[in-house]
Amino acid sequence: MSGRRLRVLFVIKNLQQGGTEGQLLQMLETLDASLFEYRLCTVSSEVHYAGLPKNGVIGSLDSRGSDRRVPRQLAAIIDQYRPDLIHSFRDRVNFQIWRALRRTQHQPAVLMSVRGRPIYPQYLALARLISGRCFKVTVNSKSVAAALTGVGRVPAERIEIIHNVSDADRFQPPSARQRTEARAALDLSDDGFVLLCPARLSFVKNQIGLIVSLAMLKRRRRLPDDFRLLLPGRVRDPWSDRVMRFLIRAAGLARWVRIPGPIGDLRPYYHAADALVLPSWAEGMPNVSLEGHLAGLPAIVSRQANRDEIVVAGETGFVVPTGRPGPLADAIADMIALPGETRRAMGQRGRARVQELFPRAAALEKMTNLYLQAIADRASHAPLPATAMAALTPPAPAVTPSLLPPLPSAPPRPTPAARAR
């Protein structure tokens, strides 16, 4: 392997705004360029991120909704790029990689990543079969690992938990000036209580239950006039979005709730908020809990959103029963009633906890070591086809543009002021 960098082919469905996509891009930005080169292949050309990493080639198959030709396209890229390792992300893409490798001459090491919950039954059923071709199945949460072993019957020794990473330098508690500027930019009052729920608008994230909780507080006259709930995120489930908006109108909550749409940089929202809320029915390891705590926010989370114990009840926030709007309403009211100094102290303890338990450097080092182990393990297997051993020879020509066309540029995002107009 001396004399050249190891090749990694990353494959993911798209680069829509989401936790898995953001984590992958963070990983690419910190991948050791002295050890690895990479190609990132997306199945569709949807992209919601600007400033994509510049130390690798990023392109899209642009499948336009048709999955039938994806395995064949991926097989052609694998045989031409000849990666030492493939790292695929999310259930459908994992299955497509498994199918592609049945067509290829080149047989690299494989890592498949399963992230987030719930996992659809058909992919749990396939998980054990697919895991047999992998060096490891990487997950980001104890809850995902439990689903794979308990329901998917994936052997525990084939699962590797590598927690999400967040940048403690990027996400910091705001200064008084930053808080004032963020609130002014978002047209929020200086003194009102701001609750932030940054998540895709979907049934699983349970914004519907959150709106029901606010309606309960309004009926009890415990919802302050200057309270605001911010719900930034893309629409994942249109029907759930419609139900949520109907409930907002029916309960007369329109002036308390704002839905700004997809946001590329959440830091101004973290700076403007007093607390974070995540009432999900199911989660892997939620990025927003890590980022919110790093930004100094206390958090209100459901038990299913806290399977990795990011939030400590009574210390860094509140943990409520999943799917029960009454306890969620009580926790929101309790958070509003706390003195600002107490909330800030909770947020500071949350930041310290995330830095202690989920250090960025440790996760990245673990991933790098896992890549090297997977490649070494594949090379040590006997017998290996000659085509697989070719991965350890000098590089073959790069993938041609016809096989891996570049991603389109991310569309410019409107400023908060422009959205208000």
Q: What is the mean pLDDT of residues 232-245?
A: 95
Report the pLDDT value the prediction gives residue 410, as an integer from 0 to 100: 52
Whether the ω angle into residue 118 lies within 30 degrees of 0, i.e. cis, is: yes
Report the pLDDT value the prediction gives residue 421, as an integer from 0 to 100: 37
For residue 84, pLDDT over 50 is answered with yes
Strand, helix or coil at 300? Answer: strand
Provide the mean pLDDT of the chain: 86
Q: What is the mean pLDDT of residues 224-238?
A: 95
For residue 386, pLDDT over 70 is answered with no
Q: Across the beta sheet with 194-196, what order do the strands follow?
A: 257-261, 228-232, 194-196, 275-278, 299-302, 317-320
Contacts of 240 (CB under 8 A, 6+ apart): 201, 202, 203, 207, 208
| Tokens coding 104 | 């290829």
Report the pLDDT value the prediction gives residue 51, as an integer from 0 to 100: 63
Contacts of 239 (CB under 8 A, 6+ apart): none
Give the lowest-confidence range in 62-66, 135-139, 146-150.
62-66
For residue 419, pLDDT over 60 is answered with no
Instruction: Answer with the residue of higher pLDDT: 82 or 404.
Output: 82
Length of the chain: 421
DSSP per-residue letters across 198-247 = -S-BSTTTTHHHHHHHHHHHHHTT-S-TT-EEEEE--BS-HHHHHHHHHH
Report the pLDDT value the prediction gives residue 390, as an integer from 0 to 100: 42
Instruction: Answer with the residue of higher pLDDT: 276 or 405.
Output: 276
For the segment 173-218, what is each residue's pLDDT rounded down to a tens digit? 999 999 999 999 999 999 999 999 999 999 999 999 999 999 999 9
Beta bridge partners of 292: none
Instruction: Answer with the residue of higher pLDDT: 340 or 285.
Output: 340
Report the pLDDT value the prediction gives residue 17, as an integer from 0 to 100: 65
Q: How do beta strands 317-320 and 299-302 pair?
A: parallel
107, 387 in Cβ contact below 8 A? yes
For the segment 336-383, what is each residue's pLDDT rounded down to a tens digit? 999 999 999 999 999 999 999 988 888 889 999 999 999 999 988 644
- Compute the distance between CA of residue 315 and CA of residue 299 in angstroms, rounded to an integer: 10
Report the pLDDT value the prediction gives residue 242, as an integer from 0 to 100: 97
For the segment 97-118, what is each residue's pLDDT rounded down to a tens digit? 999 999 999 999 999 998 766 6
For residue 16, pLDDT over 80 is answered with no
Report the pLDDT value the prediction gives residue 179, as an integer from 0 to 100: 97
